Amino acid sequence: MHVRSFIEEMEQLAPPDLAEDFDCGKIGLIVEGRPDISKVCCALDATTSVVRKAVDAGADMLVVHHTPLWTPVTSLTGPTASLMCQLLTANMNLYVMHTNFDHSPEGVNDALAELLSLENKITLSLGLIGTCTITIDELARRLGGNIRIWGELISMSRLAIVAGSGFDPAFLAEAKEAGADAFLSAELKHSVARSSPLPCIEATHYALEAPAMRRLAVRKGWQYIDDPPRLHSII
């Protein structure tokens, strides 16, 4: 497949115009490599470990959720230089789907809802609400065990989810108004937790978004490269 045909296929899956304004210039084909695509790898982040594994797998294309180039590049040094050197030396393409994939009907939040067996779903401005029939212990297990609960969790029968960093006061208010009785996302700030109208279930950013990339790889027949963050407990 030619890289242009690949891009067209990805843009049908996650149209660029669904992306948030802050993603302008940060999605799509951000590193151009060889024009013909036969082997595709997929991951959440384009880390040096992920790129090395993609190179070893003989990939022509690496599809990720998070761009490694968050800010305009005026110099190539340190980890960014190392990563770009790996990609360019391998002549590998790098394609990013971020908030456009979040908003896509078959995207990040949809995959998380599937993982948690949510039913009777309704969409929110950046996530969704669904009927949750699993226990909090089962939810924790499916998310890898990394959760914290803020507030009094009486019920999560109507669970709001926003994959990634979604603990925004506006999203919490919207979910409350739409009938949610609990809210699941990542990276909760103390000030937001104290004023939240809903009990908050906090998971890791990785746990909430990696399932979408795994599911995408399975559906497309790509190779998924797992590179979870290294968490250390301090006692």
| C-beta separation of 62 from 82 below 8 A | no
Which amino acid would we find at residue 115?
L
Which of these, 195, 151, 207, 199, lies nearest to 170 by C-alpha position? 195
At the second CATH level, the architecture of 3-102 is: 3-Layer(aba) Sandwich (3.40)
CATH topology match: 3-102 vs 105-209: yes
In the prediction, which pLDDT does 232 show? 45
> What pLDDT, in 10s, does the model give residues 101-121?
988 888 999 999 999 999 999
Which of these, 54, 60, 85, lies nearest to 224 by C-alpha position? 54
Residue pointed to by tokens 């609960």: 149
* pTM assigned to the model: 0.87
pLDDT at residue 235 is higher than 50:
no
Sorted by where each begins, the domain ranges of the chain are 3-102, 105-209
Bridge partners (DSSP) of residue 24 are: none
pLDDT at residue 22 is higher than 90:
no
Which of these, 142, 152, 209, lies nearest to 181 by C-alpha position? 152
Which of these, 148, 99, 155, lies nearest to 127 by C-alpha position? 99
What is the C-alpha to C-alpha distance for residues 204 and 160, in angstroms, rounded to an integer? 16
Strand 119-123's sheet: what is its strand order?
119-123, 128-131, 158-161, 182-186, 200-203, 147-150
| C-beta separation of 123 from 38 below 8 A | no
> What pLDDT, in 10s, does the model give residues 59-80?
999 999 998 877 777 777 888 8
At the second CATH level, the architecture of 105-209 is: 3-Layer(aba) Sandwich (3.40)
